Amino acid sequence: MPPKHRDGDVVAVIPGQWIAHAHTISAYAAFVGAFIVGVALHYQKIVQNEHFGYPIEWFPSVSATIGDRYPERSVFQVFIAICSGPRFLLVFLFYCLVNRKGENGAKWVAGIGVFRTLTCGGWTYVTSTDDHDWHDIFMISYLVATLPWTIGCLVMSPPNPITIRARKYLASAFFGTLVPLVYFFIQHKVHRVPGAYTIYAFFEWSLVLLDVAFDAVTAFDFSSFEVVVKDVKGLSRGDNKRVQDAVLEKEKDKPVGQVFGTNARWEEACDALADVYLGFTFWSILTSLGVLVWYFPLWHMGISGYEVAVMSTISPFMLGISPLRRLFFKNAYVLHLISGVSGLFAYLVQMPELRLGAVSLAVWTGCLAWVATWGRDRSDAKKLEARISAWLIGLIASSAAKYAFQTNNPLWPIMNEVSGGWNKTGIFVFTLAICWLLYRQQRIPDGTQQLQEKPQGSSMLAGLGIGGLVFGLHSLLSDSSTIILWVWEGYPVRGPLAVPHGAWTIFTMGSGLVFGLFYPNIARSWSFYGVGSVGAAVLTCFSHWFGYYGGLALTFYLCAATPILIGNATRFPPARTFFFGFFMYNFMVLFHVWVVAYAFVPGGPLVREHTDWVMATTMLMIGCGVFSALLNSGAPARQKGFEPPPNPAARRQRSYYIYILLFLQLLSASIAYLRFPSYDYTPYHPDNKLITAGIWTIHFSIDDDLRASEKRMESLLQNAELDLIGLLESDQQRIIMGNRDSTQYLAEELGMYVDYGPGPNKHTWGCALLSKFPILNSTHHLLPSPVGELAPAIHATVDAYGTAVDVFVFHSGQEEDPEDRRLQSEYLARLMGASPRPSILLSYLVTKPGEGNYNTYVSERSGMMDIDRSDWDRWCEYILYKGLRKTGYARVSRSTITDTELQVAKFQVGAPDGSGEFVHESQVPEDLRFPQIFNGQGVRGHRYHVFNEPRYFA
């Protein structure tokens, strides 16, 4: 007979350690059990990957072990289900343990813990074979939540030395393991190194063990905990009368620790989010201005007059008029509102001239708004730091957004719903942000106090610092792939890739800002300036990883120096300081375009190919700002200690911006994972060993209507079933072109390898190669150009069905420079003639068939033949070949995408030479034919033209 209990008696007591132990045992049982069953039943299948199998790869990855096969998948799922109960209890008990009076963050950490548990269930029960995308989403969410969970547990950890020490060691080991994990994954995925995936698998399993061990340590914290089950209704002895137990009574409205504590703190967090979004909007608009300006000289083939729009940034001169200054200081958010409305709604304007006008107005008011904001808050160090941080984090957010959208900012006015823009979403969030900030102005009126202390030195020095800083941030850091492409030299890969290493650039930007906030005396020192200058020199002079490390050093420096240089500039009269700063920024924008556009601009030959001058001038200007900041520092430059904010409110405010930075870092890491290429591409017609190759001048991915053209280009290239495509006028990594890289989008969406070609520091308009076949090797060439623009070329070797085939992509010089074009034809003829392999030339030659330099390209010296000698109606684009059997040739109209058609040719590898005579399409096997979609009127404005149908050869 069961014992009788009094009301409120204890029915069961469970030691807190048991819950932690139950979680650990069930978690390890899930992974180890699946591993044992998998090795016993499907060993060779779970060690097999897309490149190698047993015995080259001999240790299975976690994902292959737990998700690919039955019954190991079920073993894992059963034990993870058992683990979920103790897991939720563990999170709850940890919350109870750290939810002490005055302790912030308990709810936040508990929320992260619950989120991690739910996402764990997501990737457990939705395997990669069920739904690869959702499996990845859940997995990434889990990994992203691991960082704040780890940090939260370390920060909130009770004063138990054993627990604290164990958590530090395990957390360090966990995040340290990520570095070799990523390295060996890239070795496997990109370089296809035999055995690399096995080593990667060891690190992956280490992460699992360390992750579970980190939570297992909680058992030490729970040694003082007991879970007590009490009968408060008397049910255990058959009494239905409810008896209240005072021990279980909870106080109403008891305050609990949270990230921001009270409602007022939540309002401060919303303030930070809204300010950052204003910064993001500003940078989105500013970075779009160059693209819109570039459209006009591009179509005019020279100075158009619309270039004057770049001067839209000099609006701060208006602050020199006292009544206007007082008005703008008081109503800075109205200026932000005007800028956002004009810039974000500009995408609706169809006429390019009017759209440029709307964006110019947005930049004008945006620059005025931010300078007015800094000037208004310059007497309040807390507010000024917040506004500067928001402005720079806005740039980081813009770079992260471009990283997510393959280098196009989704709010740009060249984007719309058709081209993948999120304009309406951006406008909605901007509306929320500006309404909140207008509400804040009513809640906490902004002051307009003036500084009493007169600044030392000249405002021109401070202005030069602003000009160099803004130009450095915009030209190098407004896209995460810019400095990566500066150091790119072709295959084999010997340096960083835009994906995943763009996340490193974004991480370095955030780290630099945090360093500049916490160590301002180091950030303004000459020694730290020296670090930035050395980084700039290394980036300019070196390639591959070493050059990129220099770029990261410069990135870190620029972001760390931002609070110092802007804060110092606000000490001076804002009108002349920031007017001069933005004027010099505009000068630098033109300077860095002149070095490559020298053939079309006045005075161009003086600065031809002098990116080194641009970089040196940038750093000298920043040095002027550093000198001014040291004069006004108020502290000896040799002081290098940590400087916390002066009061708790300022420390709390700073934490919000750091949380936002942390979120952006996690977001960029997730984007890198999602965008990581599969590298399992296959050509369209492998059975016939067919290569379909094309050449296209893409006009910098801006169509006739001033819209981004990547999606339209993708549709055409996919419909044409291209295995190889040479792209010309493809280098957009400059301010005036938006710091974009269309090859990223095309390569990822079409499933192709990509060689960007000569980088933005090589002073060309660019050429690129996309290939369905692995690129074994590629070399970049700058052909002789003593007078005119530089002529870029790529010489690549691809593995086409087991045969090494050379592919040349080339853009010749302009018609106005005949000697340049003659020298280039001889250089390229020698280059092609030196190749013993089958070869294809995809080119822009500027010559007539059968005349002049044509006879150098098509000659015994080069060994190359024309795809169709009878096609007399050509001037720019040509396809030449040798060592392959030609089977077809077509010309596809451009619609309104660009100013040049797409030329396409078909070749067979290893097939006997044909007669080269024309044959009717009916005599050609179906797999060797061109797509029918372009017959007649075609599709979306693309059709077979000139001949009105493809040509085929016997």
d(C-alpha 679, C-alpha 39), whole Å: 27
Instruction: Name residue, tokens 């370390």.
Output: 154
Question: Assign residue 345 a region: left if phi > 0, alpha if psi is -120 to 50, beta otherwise?
Answer: alpha
Phi and psi at residue 465, to the nearest 5°:
-60, -40
Whether the bond into 55 is cis, omega within 30 of 0: yes
Q: What is the chain's Cα-based Rg? A: 32
Sign of the CA dihedral running 428, 345, 656, 436: negative
Which regions in the chain score pLDDT beneath 50?
1-7, 102, 235-236, 238-264, 635-644
Judge whether 898 and 707 are in contact, CB under 8 Å.
Answer: no
Type and span of the H or E element at 360: helix 352-376
How many other CB atoms sit within 10 Å of the CB of residue 229?
10
Residue recorded with tokens 């067979």 = 908
Q: Which of 763, 795, 811, 942 is catalytic?
A: 811
* Strands 724-728 and 690-697, sheet pairing: parallel
From edge to edge, which strands make up the β-sheet containing 839-844? 775-783, 791-800, 803-811, 839-844, 877-882, 865-866
Q: What is the DSSP letter of 300?
A: H
**Under the phi-then-psi rule, with left for phi > 0, alpha for psi from -120 to 50, and beta for the rest, what region is 867?**
alpha
Rounded to the nearest angstrom, the gap between the alpha carbon of residue 178 and the centroid of all alpha carbons in its chain is: 19
In the annotation, is 610 catalytic? Answer: no
Q: Cβ neighbours of residue 18 under 8 Å, at least 6 residues apart?
A: none
Distance CA 810, CA 824 (A): 10
At residue 147, what are phi and psi to the nearest 5 degrees? -65, -55
Measure the CA–CA gap between 105 and 257, rounded to whole angstroms.
Answer: 5
Give Cβ neighbours of residue 530 (< 8 Å, ≥ 6 apart).
none
- pLDDT, one tens digit per residue, over 612-652 is 999 999 999 999 999 999 998 864 333 333 444 556 666 77
Confirm if 408 and 710 have CB atoms less than 8 A apart.
yes
* 948 three-class SS: coil
Whether the full predicted model's pTM is greater than 0.85, yes or no, is: no
Structure tokens at 768: 């690129």
Tokens found for residue 279: 């910064």
With tokens 């520091």, the residue in question is 761
At 170-194, the pLDDT tens digits run 877 877 787 788 788 888 877 788 8
494 CB-near residues (< 8 Å, 6+ apart):
543, 544, 545
Q: How many residues does the chain have?
A: 954
Peptide bond preceding 158: is omega within 30 degrees of 0, i.e. cis?
Answer: no
Element (DSSP H or E) covering residue 100:
none
pLDDT of residue 164: 77
Report the first-to-last Cα separation within the chain, whole angstroms.
98
The amino acid at residue 437 is L
pLDDT of residue 242: 39
Q: How far is CA 739 from CA 18, 95, 486, 503, in A?
A: 56, 46, 12, 16
**Which pLDDT does position 647 carry in this prediction?**
60
Measured between alpha carbons, how far is 856 from 342 in angstroms, rounded to an integer? 53
CA 140 to chain CA centroid, Å, is 16
